[in-house]
């Protein structure tokens, strides 16, 4: 191993620099020699004097290079050097003439003056208050920000992340973090509690410190929100925090009370009617338990969603019944169809309701009703807007209605960082808003949507309540339906007639607990019996690499999606991805690769974004730019760049996104994905292994969601015993939220108030 070498010199030439990552290659003039240095060297400029240490390595093309592991700025030594430095333009606002005057006025103390008494610069002719401000700012950037980043580098925080911290807190960040490193977890997306905890340990923060406990509680509530829960019972919260932090429970309980007083959590009596974790039951086991603890954002969102739904429901203008009857007649004639009983009811009631929910499985006519409703409102001269939670769902809606449909984020003019241009101050200019795939909308997005809808508008929510719930917290669609307060129609008759398709029919059968029709000649629903994991894997490999592309013409990469109920196990997503990557995109010398933990990415791989990133930039081939890649978006790796430490992914064949290596944890291989992650997407072909797994994941809900993702073909590979198990396992994931209760509460309050008004 080569030893650490130290050099001092002036940066003569910058060969390469990436501002985002801080990575740089430069020539250092040591007066005796030129050394090529490289590494993460943020904010270095030509003319800087540095002391660097690192190891010498031989690059096959560029020869000797020093990989820097430590860097220190050294003040320019000689008068000449100082003048050269000041006049180089490194500090904005100081050019050659000003540098000359500064040297005359302050001599070798010139830099100290900028640093310690910058107002003395006003003595120099040509420097007024405005220029002084510019000089101070640029100097800060040159020196302080550089030291700031070095400070974070020592804590293993990347330049990218350090800049995020700087943008949030400014230079005071260091002081703040030294007082309470957990603010990083609270305030900076991308830094979780565990990482902040490691930093805290490095800094010697005590395990029972109040910051640690407070941050731990917020962490648990956030983690639970990530699994769908809007709140936690206090006992469960105490237990989980105690276990995570390894501290006594009474300290946690005390901190919950303190946080509640400060408004950092919201606490309310838990209703006996809502779901509980086992721990939340009281000793008598009668189900009436202690307190529900919410993160304030979730509490507020739940309250506001309930309130706004009730408001919209209570305020609306009804069209005359004659219009509705005549419209239905005309629509049926125009389309050459006879609407079913429930379909007619849906159209009629949508027109007279402020909020209306249309649910139904595949092929039950949801899109047909959306189209009818749009026509009716347009005849009534109402402005209609359409949206769906994902890009794919919005695209499908556009195709089905021949009208523009946007993602909800776009509709609300998303600005990044959970900021939306459309809100109660600047509501959507529409009389009617129709949202498809509502089962995917979580409570936070629902709140943002409702916030931007004017009182008196019509809101129509369309979806399939048998799909899995949203990835984010809450169970919006199910709770709205369960409240029994918001008008809705469930379409239950299948209209999709097809000689060859069994997908919709089987989906409905499965939903009723009946066995699906399998393996009929010339149909689109197959089951291949294999019992052992390696046989299932082999069969899937053959289908993807040979039979489906060669005999049916499906593209293995674009058309076929493998869905699996779980990640682990012999036929889980991880095992499938390893196998499929090796056969569909094998290693080759010209393909770049990047390993992140256990994950290996290779140029050409199919990948999926696994969390919402509202701030990441994309560009497309038309030069358009935008922000945001969302949980479940699928794309392909087109470039892995070791020098820039970046990976480029193209989503939807057009949106190009560049990922810094530091954010590769937002991606995963996607030859196979979990059924949960596939929600809201559709694929031509779905293949699913059906094998042993935990009962929670071997459920009807998962099977139903998986097969309803397929447009043209479903192939299940596995053991019939487990297929039957899935059809009969109706246990659903339990989510802690109380939208239902709040809707009922606000409706009662509204009715009471209305009565008082008229008495």
With binding defined as CB under 6 A, does residue 333 bind ligand ATP?
no
Shortest distance (Å) from residue 676 CB to ligand ATP = 19
Shortest distance (Å) from residue 503 CB to ligand ATP = 9
Give the span between the Cα atoms of 172 and 541, in whole angstroms.
55
Q: Which of 145/337 has CB closer to ligand ATP?
A: 337
Among 366, 392, 422, 567, binds ligand ATP (CB under 6 A): 366
CB-count burial class (<10 Å; 0-12, 13-18, 19+) for 322: exposed
Alpha carbon of 660 to those of 19, 159, 418, 636: distances in Å?
11, 11, 21, 16
Q: Are 492 and 510 in contact (CB under 8 A)?
A: no
- Collapsing DSSP to helix, strand or coil, 701 comes out as helix
Give the span between the Cα atoms of 526 and 517, in whole angstroms.
9
Where in 367-396 is the site for ligand ATP (CB under 6 A)?
367-368
Q: Which of 233/365 has CB closer to ligand ATP?
A: 365
With binding defined as CB under 6 A, does residue 508 bind ligand ATP?
no
718 is in an annotated binding site: no
Q: Any residues with CB less than 8 A from the CB of 499 and at least 6 apart, and which? A: none
Could you tell me if residue 659 is left (phi over 0), alpha (psi between -120 and 50 degrees) or otherwise beta? beta
- Collapsing DSSP to helix, strand or coil, 430 comes out as coil
Stretch that binds ligand ATP, among 160-168, 358-366, 583-591, 592-600 (CB under 6 A): 358-366
Q: Which of 656/712 has CB closer to ligand ATP?
A: 712
Shortest distance (Å) from residue 709 CB to ligand ATP = 11
Q: Which of 202/496 has CB closer to ligand ATP?
A: 496
With binding defined as CB under 6 A, does residue 47 bind ligand ATP?
no
Stretch that binds ligand ATP, among 116-124, 125-133, 148-156, 339-347 (CB under 6 A): 339-347
Q: Are 695 and 572 in contact (CB under 8 A)?
A: no
Dihedral over Cα of 206, 209, 211, 217: its sign = positive
Residue 730, φ and ψ in degrees, nearest 5: -100, 5
67 is in an annotated binding site: no
Closest CA to 45 of 92, 102, 110, 93: 92
Q: Which of 165/477 has CB closer to ligand ATP?
A: 477
With binding defined as CB under 6 A, does residue 342 bind ligand ATP?
no
Among 337, 490, 518, 744, binds ligand ATP (CB under 6 A): 337
Spatial strand order of the sheet with 646-651 comes to: 625-629, 613-619, 655-660, 646-651, 634-641, 606-609, 667-669
**DSSP code at position 171:** G
Shortest distance (Å) from residue 590 CB to ligand ATP = 42
- Collapsing DSSP to helix, strand or coil, 23 comes out as strand
Where in 256-295 is the site for ligand ATP (CB under 6 A)?
none
- Burial of 137-174, coded b for 16+ CB within 10 Å and e otherwise, reads ebbbebbbbbebbbebbebebbbbbbbbbbeebeeebb
Per the listing, tokens 């991805």 go with 577
Residue 242, both tokens:
């105690």
Where in 99-118 is the site for ligand ATP (CB under 6 A)?
none
Stretch that binds ligand ATP, among 20-28, 167-175, 333-341, 544-552 (CB under 6 A): 333-341
Among 89, 210, 319, 340, binds ligand ATP (CB under 6 A): 340
Residue ranges of E strands in 632-709: 634-641, 646-651, 655-660, 667-669, 672-674, 683-690
Among 59, 194, 496, 587, binds ligand ATP (CB under 6 A): 496
Give the span between the Cα atoms of 657 and 668, in whole angstroms.
15
Where in 451-470 is the site for ligand ATP (CB under 6 A)?
none
Pairing of strands 291-294, 355-360: unpaired
Shortest distance (Å) from residue 365 CB to ligand ATP = 4
Among 365, 469, 473, 565, binds ligand ATP (CB under 6 A): 365
Among 42, 54, 233, 362, binds ligand ATP (CB under 6 A): 362
What is the number of residues in the chain? 759
Shortest distance (Å) from residue 451 CB to ligand ATP = 28
With binding defined as CB under 6 A, does residue 490 bind ligand ATP?
no
Stretch that binds ligand ATP, among 72-80, 85-93, 360-368, 727-735 (CB under 6 A): 360-368
366 is in an annotated binding site: yes
With binding defined as CB under 6 A, does residue 343 bind ligand ATP?
yes
Shortest distance (Å) from residue 358 CB to ligand ATP = 9
**DSSP code at position 16:** E
Shortest distance (Å) from residue 523 CB to ligand ATP = 17
Q: Are 718 and 746 in contact (CB under 8 A)?
A: no
Q: Are 217 and 257 in contact (CB under 8 A)?
A: no
Beta bridge mates, 420:
414
Q: Which of 149/369 has CB closer to ligand ATP?
A: 369
Give the span between the Cα atoms of 350 and 343, in whole angstroms.
11
Among 191, 324, 339, 536, binds ligand ATP (CB under 6 A): 339
Interaction pattern, residues 48-77, with ligand ATP; x per rule: CB under 6 A: ------------------------------
Shortest distance (Å) from residue 568 CB to ligand ATP = 32
Q: Which of 338/753 has CB closer to ligand ATP?
A: 338
With binding defined as CB under 6 A, does residue 202 bind ligand ATP?
no
Give the span between the Cα atoms of 13 and 124, in whole angstroms.
31
Stretch that binds ligand ATP, among 255-263, 364-372, 406-414, 519-527 (CB under 6 A): 364-372
H or E stretch covering 388: strand 384-388
With binding defined as CB under 6 A, does residue 503 bind ligand ATP?
no
Where in 650-679 is the site for ligand ATP (CB under 6 A)?
none
Q: Any residues with CB less than 8 A from the CB of 733 and at least 6 apart, and which? A: 228, 468, 469, 696, 701
Q: Which of 385/393 has CB closer to ligand ATP?
A: 393
CB-count burial class (<10 Å; 0-12, 13-18, 19+) for 189: middle
Q: Which of 496/520 has CB closer to ligand ATP?
A: 496
Give the span between the Cα atoms of 324 and 329, in whole angstroms.
9
Shortest distance (Å) from residue 714 CB to ligand ATP = 14
With binding defined as CB under 6 A, does residue 705 bind ligand ATP?
no
Among 54, 354, 363, 463, binds ligand ATP (CB under 6 A): 363
Q: Any residues with CB less than 8 A from the CB of 143 and at least 6 apart, and which? A: 73, 115
Closest CA to 165 of 179, 178, 148, 150: 148
367 is in an annotated binding site: yes
With binding defined as CB under 6 A, does residue 495 bind ligand ATP?
yes
Among 360, 565, 572, 632, binds ligand ATP (CB under 6 A): 360
Stretch that binds ligand ATP, among 292-300, 336-344, 479-487, 646-654 (CB under 6 A): 336-344
Shortest distance (Å) from residue 370 CB to ligand ATP = 8
Residues belonging to the binding site for ATP are 363-367
Q: What does the binding site for ligand ATP look like in residue numbers (CB under 6 A)?
A: 337-340, 343, 360, 362-368, 495-496
Residues belonging to the binding site are 363-367
């Amino acid at each position: 191993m080569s030893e650490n070498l130290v050099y001092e010199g002036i940066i003569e030439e910058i060969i390469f620099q990436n501002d985002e990552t801080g990575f740089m290659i430069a020539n250092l003039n040591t007066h005796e020699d030129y050394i090529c240095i490289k590494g993460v060297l943020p904010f270095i400029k030509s003319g800087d004097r540095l002391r660097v240490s690192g190891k010498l390595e031989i690059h096959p093309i560029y020869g000797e290079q020093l990989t820097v592991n430590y860097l220190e700025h050294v003040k320019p030594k000689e008068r000449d050097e100082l003048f050269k430095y000041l006049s180089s333009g490194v500090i904005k606002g100081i050019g050659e003439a000003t540098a000359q005057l500064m040297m005359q006025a302050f001599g070798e103390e010139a830099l100290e003056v900028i640093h310690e008494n910058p107002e003395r610069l006003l003595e120099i002719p040509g420097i007024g208050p405005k220029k002084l401000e510019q000089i101070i700012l640029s100097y800060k950037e040159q020196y302080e920000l550089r030291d700031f980043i070095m400070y974070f580098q020592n804590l293993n925080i990347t330049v990218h992340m350090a800049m995020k911290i700087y943008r949030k807190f400014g230079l005071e960040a260091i002081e703040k973090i030294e007082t309470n490193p957990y603010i990083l977890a609270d305030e900076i997306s991308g830094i979780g509690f565990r990482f902040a905890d490691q930093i805290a340990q490095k800094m010697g923060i005590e395990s029972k410190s109040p910051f640690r406990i407070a941050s731990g509680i917020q962490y648990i509530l956030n983690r639970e929100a990530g699994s769908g829960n809007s709140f936690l019972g206090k006992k469960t919260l105490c237990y989980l925090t105690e276990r995570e932090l390894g501290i006594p429970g009474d300290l946690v309980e005390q901190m919950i009370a303190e946080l509640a007083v400060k408004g950092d959590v919201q606490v309310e009596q838990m209703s006996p009617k809502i779901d509980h974790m086992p721990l939340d039951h009281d000793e008598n086991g009668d189900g009436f338990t202690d307190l529900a603890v919410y993160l304030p954002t979730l509490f507020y969102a739940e309250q506001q969603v309930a309130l706004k739904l009730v408001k919209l429901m209570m305020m609306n203008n009804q069209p005359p019944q004659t219009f509705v009857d005549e419209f239905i007649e005309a629509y049926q004639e125009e389309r050459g169809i006879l609407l079913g009983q429930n379909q007619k009811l849906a159209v009629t009631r949508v027109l007279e309701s402020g909020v209306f929910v249309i649910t139904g499985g595949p092929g039950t006519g949801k899109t047909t009703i959306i189209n009818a409703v749009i026509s009716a409102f347009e005849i009534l001269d109402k402005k209609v807007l359409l949206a769906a939670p994902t890009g794919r769902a919005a695209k499908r809606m556009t195709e089905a209605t021949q009208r523009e449909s946007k993602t909800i984020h776009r509709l609300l003019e998303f600005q990044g960082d959970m900021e939306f241009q459309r809100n109660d101050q600047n509501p959507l200019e529409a009389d009617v808003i129709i949202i498809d795939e509502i089962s995917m909308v979580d409570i936070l997005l629902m709140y943002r949507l409702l916030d931007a809808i004017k009182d008196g508008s019509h809101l129509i929510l369309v979806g399939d309540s048998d799909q899995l719930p949203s990835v984010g917290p809450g169970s919006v669609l199910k709770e709205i339906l369960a409240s029994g307060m918001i008008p809705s129609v469930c379409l239950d008759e299948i209209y999709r007639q097809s000689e060859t398709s069994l997908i919709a029919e089987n989906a409905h059968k499965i939903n009723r607990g009946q066995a699906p029709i399998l393996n009929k000649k010339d149909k689109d629903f197959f089951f291949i019996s294999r019992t052992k994991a390696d046989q299932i894997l082999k069969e899937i490999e053959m289908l993807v690499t040979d039979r489906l592309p060669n005999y049916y013409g499906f593209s293995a990469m674009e058309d076929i999606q493998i869905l699996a109920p779980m990640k682990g196990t012999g036929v889980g997503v991880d095992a499938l991805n390893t196998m499929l990557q090796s056969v569909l995109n094998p290693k080759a010398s010209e393909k770049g690769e990047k390993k992140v933990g256990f994950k290996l990415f290779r140029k050409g791989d199919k990948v999926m974004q696994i969390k919402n990133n509202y701030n990441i930039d994309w560009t497309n081939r038309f030069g358009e730019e935008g922000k945001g890649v969302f949980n479940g978006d699928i794309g392909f790796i087109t470039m892995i760049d070791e020098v820039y430490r970046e990976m480029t992914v193209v989503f939807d064949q057009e949106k190009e996104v560049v990922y810094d290596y530091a954010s590769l944890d937002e991606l995963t291989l996607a030859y196979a994905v979990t059924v949960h992650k596939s929600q809201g997407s559709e694929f031509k072909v779905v293949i699913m292994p059906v094998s042993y797994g935990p009962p929670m994941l071997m459920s009807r809900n998962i099977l139903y969601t998986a097969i309803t993702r397929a447009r043209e073909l479903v192939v299940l590979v596995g053991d019939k015993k487990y297929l039957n198990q899935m059809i009969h396992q109706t246990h659903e994931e339990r989510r802690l939220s109380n939208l239902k209760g709040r809707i009922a509460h606000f409706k009662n309050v509204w009715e009471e108030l209305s009565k008082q008004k008229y008495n």
